[in-house]
């Protein structure tokens, strides 16, 4: 039984060049300021940070995936550059 048609979506994500420790700290601080616990503000993307990112994405109606997509970064008020 098919529930729905399959679809593919392209999303821009924070690339390794822009995913510096300082940038990740900005994202972690923004998550914490918005009431989401990213764990330690250490500039490292760990499971707790991604759980906070995904919870933020769900609450804001953003695409939820395993990456820090640029739409989420911008919604947090963090520059992707």
Residue 12 lies in a domain: no
Residue 62 lies in a domain: yes
Contact 73, 80 (CB under 8 A): yes
- 11 pLDDT above the threshold of 60: no
Structurally, how many domains does the chain consist of? 1
Q: What is the pTM of this model?
A: 0.81
pLDDT tens digits, 44-69: 999 999 999 999 999 999 989 888 88
Top pLDDT among 27 and 5 is at 27
Q: What are phi and psi of 28, to 5 degrees?
A: -60, -40
Q: Which residue range is the domain that position 47 belongs to?
A: 21-75
Length reported for the chain: 81
Tokens 């998550």 belong to which residue? Answer: 31
Residue 66 lies in a domain: yes
Residue 35 lies in a domain: yes
């Amino acid at each position: 039984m098919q529930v729905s048609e399959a679809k593919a979506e392209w999303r821009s994500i924070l690339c390794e060049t822009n995913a510096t420790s300082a940038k990740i700290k900005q994202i972690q601080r923004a998550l914490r300021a918005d009431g989401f616990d990213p764990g330690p503000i250490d500039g490292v993307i760990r499971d707790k940070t991604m759980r906070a990112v995904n919870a933020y994405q769900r609450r804001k109606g953003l695409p939820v995936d395993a990456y820090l997509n640029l739409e989420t970064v911008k919604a947090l008020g963090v520059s992707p550059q």
